[in-house]
Amino acid sequence: MIACFDIGGSAIKGAMAYAPEDIRPLPKVPTPLHDFDAFASVIEKIAADGGADPASLISISVAGVVDAESGRITCANIPCIHGRPLVKDLSEKLGRPVLVANDADCFALSEAVVGAGRGHRVVFGIILGTGVGGGLVINGKIHEGAGGFAGEWGHGPISATWAGNPPIAIPRYACGCGQVGCVDAVGAARGMERLHAHIHGVDLPSTEIIAAWNNGDAAAERTIDCYIDIVSGPLAMTLNVLGASVVPVGGGLANAVPLIERLDRAVRDRILWKTGKPLVIPGQLKIEPGLIGAGVLGLMGETK
């Protein structure tokens, strides 16, 4: 049994992990953003309340990227840990071993071990929600890559400048990562809204765009046509490189099953490997996949 956590800018979600299929959530608490001592104390208290041994390992999924060489985390939405060698600092503060992984990596790991990717050697879990991200799991282990950025297919200046049938010009939007023309800037939920406004001059939330598309609205169909064209090309290229045999999708847009089915067809039309089976599919773990991934990560670390 270990304590595991999924930590974001608003809340710390804790759980006790007894087995990959037995993760028992604990009450969540607000994330201390500016006080590292308070941040560490909250984690310690949640673990103690759950009955964890004071010397047992703690495993954390966090909305940030950990550099495998320096150990420092990039996590702008939690200032008290941003730039810290988090594993080292937290281990010293708590007097116990600590594992930390990116939340998209933990999503991918959870799907690979107990979700839609079970039985597959190479699993590429992707996020389509507030942002576009991903995590790569090979033989049941997270592949972090240089700087901890493996799987981040949403970033890089590769987004199409023409899309749809017939094609229309698409601006190269600025991305939060500092680059211009990233898939993240168009493929995320806000990106879909940006795309719809560009094409039709109307501001709508992504949920309404998708609902209208499901109801046969022609304007929404045009937006989704362009969206799929823009997102499927980079994803197909990524899969040609990675060789993943399954792509579980998480994030808010994964709840729009017809959208993911259409993306799957477009991706399979564009990859070199030809398969008649669905490849890009909604993730199976709808409740707390990051927390489950942290639990799986910790249980694997505990047995080493």
pLDDT tens for 5-32 read 999 999 999 999 999 999 999 999 999 9
Residues 6+ apart with CB under 8 A from 129: 188, 189, 250, 251, 252, 253, 254
Query: Alpha-carbon distance 220 to 216, whole Å?
Result: 8
Residue 165 has pLDDT above 90, yes or no: yes
Tell me the Ramachandran region of residue 36: left when phi exceeds 0, alpha when psi lies from -120 to 50, beta otherwise: alpha
Average pLDDT along the chain: 94
pLDDT on residue 147: 79
- Look at residue 213 in the predicted model and tell me its pLDDT: 98
DSSP symbol at 197: H
Taking the CB of residue 231, how many other CB atoms lie within 10 A of it? 29
pLDDT at 230 over 70: yes
pLDDT at 144: 87
What pLDDT does residue 140 have?
94
274 burial (CB, 10 Å; 0-12 / 13-18 / 19+) is exposed
234-284 pLDDT, tens digit per residue, is 999 999 999 999 999 999 999 999 999 999 999 999 999 999 999 999 999
What is this structure's pTM?
0.93
**Segment 210-237 mean pLDDT:** 98
The identity of residue 61, as a single letter, is S
pLDDT-based confidence at residue 286 (cuts at 50, 70, 90): confident
Please give the pLDDT value at position 176.
Answer: 87
Helix H or strand E encompassing 2: strand 2-7
Per-residue model confidence (pLDDT) at position 66: 87
**Would you place residue 146 in the very low, low, confident or very high pLDDT band (cuts 50, 70, 90)?**
confident
Distance between CA atoms of residues 149 and 3, nearest Å: 25
Percent of the chain's residues with pLDDT above 70? 99
| Contact status, residue 187 vs residue 231, Cβ threshold 8 Å | yes
pLDDT in the model for residue 121: 97
Q: Give the CA radius of gyration of the chain.
A: 20
Helical spans, DSSP H, in the chain: 36-49, 86-94, 103-114, 184-187, 189-200, 206-214, 218-242, 257-270, 289-302
pLDDT band at 67 (very low <50, low <70, confident <90, very high): confident
**Would you state the structure tokens that stand for residue 197, as one six-digit string?**
């406004």
What domains does the chain contain, in order, with CATH numbers? 2-106+287-302 (3.30.420.40), 119-282 (3.30.420.40)
Per-residue pLDDT band at 302 (split at 50, 70, 90):
low
